[in-house]
Amino acid sequence: MKKFAVVAAMATAFLGSTSAFAVDLEVTHWWTSAGEAAAIAEFAELFEEQTGNNWVDSALAGSGTGANPVIISRIIGGDPMGATQMNTGRDAEELIQAGLMRDLTPIVEEMGGLDFYVDQTLLEPCMYEGGIYCLPINIHSWDWLWLSTAAYEEIGQPVPTNWDEYVASWPALQEAGILPFGLATGWPISGVPGVLMSGIGGSDLVLAVNRDKDASAVRGPEFRKVAEALDSLRQVISPEMMVPSFGDVGNQILAGEAAGNIHGDWLAGDLQVAGGVAGEDYECLPALGLGDQLTGGGDSFYFPVLPEGTDPAVIQAQTDLAKILISPEGQLNFNLVKGSMPIRTDIDLSAANPCMQKAIGMLDNGLLPSGDFALSSDTQQQLQDLSIEFLDDDNITVDDYIERYASIIESAD
Amino acid sequence: MADTAVHTGEGAGQAARPSLLNRIFLHNLSGKIAAVPMMATVLIVFIGCTIWTIYFSFTNSRLLPTGSFVGLDQYERLFSTSRWNVSVTNLVTYGVFSLVFTLGFGFLLAVLMDQKIRFESAFRTIMLYPFALSFIVTGLVWQWIMNPTLGLQGTMRNLGWENFTFDWIANSRMVLFALLIAGLWQGVGFCMILMLAGLRGVDEEIWKAARVDGIPTWRTYISVVLPMMRGVLVTAVVLIGSGIVRLYDLVVALTNGGPGISSEVPAKYVYNYMFSGGNIGQGLAAATMMLLTVLIIMVPWAYLEFGGRGRR
C-alpha cells in the first residue's frame, strides 16, 4: 500500500513535468513508513515542478541499521546516488573527510548564508575544514512521551502530565490489563535511555555525558536516577508483549491497549496517518513533561561527489535540490507531513499539530546534543547493545549498568 | 580450442629434453589456461581478502580501512564485550544441537524413505521443499507461528487450552531452541536426500549377505551401511557445519538477536559493527575469530582425511 502510494504520487508528478532536458536524479532515503513516504513525496513534487527533472526515488528499508550501510557502501564502492538522506550526526563523518561528499559552500554563499537555521549547532556535523557538506532539513527529537487517552479513560484517571505521574499510574493500568509501556523489538529501545537522561537527569547531565564524554557524570547521582527509571521500566516490559515495529505501538496507543511509549516525534506522522488526533486520541509530553529543552538530531541531505564525466545537468539538479530542501516552501510542506520540526521558523507554522507547536516553543531554549548527534556510530552501537541487554536480563543490576555505561563513555570518541 | 591443443602438442614434442620449466608451464597448457581464472579467484578473492581481513583487524579503522596499527586492542575489546561472548556460546550450543539433530533426523528419514514406500518421490519433494526457501522466509514464517500472541500459543488458547504455552521465541533461555526448530525444518530435508543417495549407493549384495547371516535390519543399517556411507557423511557434516558458522539470516528474520541479546550470533556481530557501528577494525577482528574457529576444526580433520598417504 505504502509503495503503491509513493508510486502513484511519483507517477502523477512525472506526468506533469517531463521536459526535453530532464535528467534523472536518484535520491536514496529510508522513509518507508506511511507518514514518512508521504513526506518525502512533498519534496519530490516540488523538485519536479520547479526544475523539470526526474526524481528517481530509491527508498531503502531498515533505517539506520539497514539502509545506512547500503548508502555508505554505495558511496564508498563508487556508485554514488545523486543525493541521499542520512541522520544528522557523525555517521557520514569519514565520508566527508575522505572527500566523497560534495562541498556545498558555493551554493550556501549564493543563498546568502545559513543564518535562518533556528539552531546553528545543527550545522556542526556538516562542517569540515571550513566547508559545509550537508544540509539538515528537519529537527527530530526522541524526547517524547506518548500517552493513550483511551487507556486512561478506561482506568478512570486523568492523563498524566509528566513522567512521575505516569509511573504512578502503572499499577492501576496493569490491574486493568493494559500494557503500561508499549514497545517494539530491536532499535526503538535504543533511544529510551537518552530520553530518560534529558528528562530525569536534566540538561547538564546530557551535556556532560554526550558532549563532554564525562564518565564521572555517568557514575554520579543524577545518572543513577536515570538508570533506576530504566530499571523500573524493564519491570513492566516483557518480551512476549513486544510488537514488530514502532508503528504497531502507535496503533496500540490509539486503541488503548498500551498506555504509553517513549519514541521520537516521527511516531506522530504514523499516528496522524492512522487517524489519531493529538490532544484527543493521544497526548504528547515533550521532555517527559519535566524538562524545557529537547535533545535534537534529525535528518540531513548529502550530495555525493559524482564520478568524472557526469552530465553537468545532473550536478545542476543536485544544486537545485539542495536549494529546494531548505526553502521556506519545501520546509513547510515536508515538515507538516513528517511531524518533525522545520530548521527555520520564519515560516507560517499555524497548521502544525499541537505536539509540534509545543516543540517549536521549546526550540527557543536551544537544542541539547543527542547521542546520534554527538557520539560516533560505534559508541551508539555499544550503548544500544547495552540497553537491549539490560532490558531483558534482570541479572544485570543498576550498578552494573552504570559501570558499563561509564566504561563505554570513557572509551567513546 | 582444437587449434591450441595441437600447437601445444607440437611445442612439447619439439623440445628435445623436456626441462622443468616445460613440465610446469607447457605440459597440458590448455588445461592450465582454463584453470587460470579459478586460480586467480582463489588467490585474490579467497586468500587475498582473508589476508586483508586479518591485517585490518589489527588496526583502529572505523568506517574506512585507513586506521593505524594498534596490536591486539580490537581483540581485547572483543572478548570483554558480553554480546560477543554470548554470541559465541550461542553458536556452540546451536551448532552441537543442529549437527546432531540434522544428521540424526536426516538419516532416520532416509532410512524410512528407503523402505520401498509408495509415493516416495512425493514425500521426497515435501521433505525437501523447505530447503528451497531462503532462511529469511523460513525465519519470517516461524516468527509468525511462534509469536506468543498471534501464533500457535494464541490459537490454542483461543480454542480453549488456556494453559497451552509455547513462548520459546520470547523466552531468553529457550529462544535458541526456537531457532533450532526453524533451522531443522529447513535443513533436515536436504540432509535426508544426501543420506538417501548414500543408502541407494550401497550394493544390494551386502543386504543379501546380511540377510543370509540373519543380522537384524537395524543392525545392518548401523554397523554395516552407515560405515560404508562415510563419504556422504563427510559431505553432510561439511555442508551442515558451514551452514552453522555463517548462521545469520535466520536469526535476523526470526528473533533479530532477541529477546535482549540472548540469540545473538557472531556473524551478526560482525555485520552490526562493520556497517551500522561503522567500526571495521572491530568487525574484522570478530570475523578473524570466526575464521580461526573454522580452521581449528577443519585443519586437523583435513590432515587426517587427505594428509596421510595410503589411507582411504
Q: Residue B277: which of A186, A238, A381 has the nearest Cβ?
A: A381
The Cα–Cα gap between B285 and B272 comes to 13
pLDDT in tens, A182-213: 988 877 888 899 899 988 988 899 899 988 88
- Residue A30 in grid coordinates: 529510508
- Same domain? For A135 and A21 the reply is yes
Q: Would you call A95 and B63 a contact, using CB atoms and an 8 Å cutoff?
A: yes
- Same domain? For A26 and A122 the reply is yes
Question: What's the gap in Å between the CA of A276 and the closest CA on chain B?
Answer: 25
Residue B102 has pLDDT above 90, yes or no: yes
Q: Would you call A392 and B172 a contact, using CB atoms and an 8 Å cutoff?
A: yes
| pLDDT confidence band for A247 (50 / 70 / 90) | confident
Whether residue A352 is contained in a domain is answered as no
Taking one residue from A and the other from B, the number of pairs with CB-CB distance under 8 angstroms is 84
- List the domains of chain B with CATH numbers: 2-56 (no CATH), 77-307 (1.10.3720.10)
Lookup result for grid cell 540434522: B102
pLDDT in tens, A8-39: 555 444 444 444 468 899 999 988 877 788 88
Mean pLDDT (chain A, rounded): 86
Residue at a domain's end among A308, A343, A378:
A343
pLDDT in tens, B127-168: 888 888 888 999 888 988 888 877 888 888 888 888 888 888
Q: Which domain holds residue A118?
A: 2-140+297-343
Least confidently predicted of A4-8, A37-41, A317-321: A4-8
- Same domain? For A197 and A54 the reply is no
- Same domain? For A175 and A86 the reply is no
Report the number of distinct structural domains present in chain A.
2
Higher pLDDT, B94 or B275: B94
- Same domain? For A202 and A312 the reply is no
Lookup result for grid cell 541531505: A301
3-state secondary structure chain B: CHHHHHHHHHHHHHCCCCCHHHHHHHCCHHHHHHHHHHHHHHHHHHHHHHHHHHHHCCECCCCCCCCCECCCHHHHHHHCCHHHHHHHHHHHHHHHHHHHHHHHHHHHHHHHHCCCCCCHHHHHHHHHHHHHCCHHHHHHHHHHHHCCCCCHHHHHHHCCCCCCCCCHHHCCCCHHHHHHHHHHHHHHHHHHHHHHHHHHCCCHHHHHHHHHCCCCHHHHHHHHHHHHCHHHHHHHHHHHHHHHHCCCHHHHHHCCCCCCCCCCCHHHHHHHHHHHCCCHHHHHHHHHHHHHHHHHHHHHHHHHHHHCCCCC
Q: Would you call A389 and B276 a contact, using CB atoms and an 8 Å cutoff?
A: no
- What is the domain-level CATH number for residue A104? 3.40.190.10
The Cα–Cα gap between A354 and A276 comes to 12
Q: Would you call A239 and B83 a contact, using CB atoms and an 8 Å cutoff?
A: no
Lookup result for grid cell 550501510: A69
On whether any CB of chain B is under 8 Å from the CB of A52, the answer is no
Q: Residue A385: which of B83, B148, B149 has the nearest Cβ?
A: B83
Q: Would you call A185 and B258 a contact, using CB atoms and an 8 Å cutoff?
A: yes
Exposure string (b/e) for A276-299, b if CB count within 10 Å is 16 or more?
Answer: bebeebbbbbbbbbbbebbbbbbb
On whether any CB of chain A is under 8 Å from the CB of B63, the answer is yes
Q: Residue A69: which of B256, B261, B276 has the nearest Cβ?
A: B276
The Cα–Cα gap between A42 and A27 comes to 13
B252 and B136 Cβ atoms separated by less than 8 Å: yes
Supply the pTM of this predicted model. 0.80
- Same domain? For A333 and A372 the reply is no
Whether residue A359 is contained in a domain is answered as no
pLDDT in tens, B163-210: 888 888 888 888 999 999 999 999 999 999 999 999 988 888 888 998
On whether any CB of chain A is under 8 Å from the CB of B149, the answer is yes
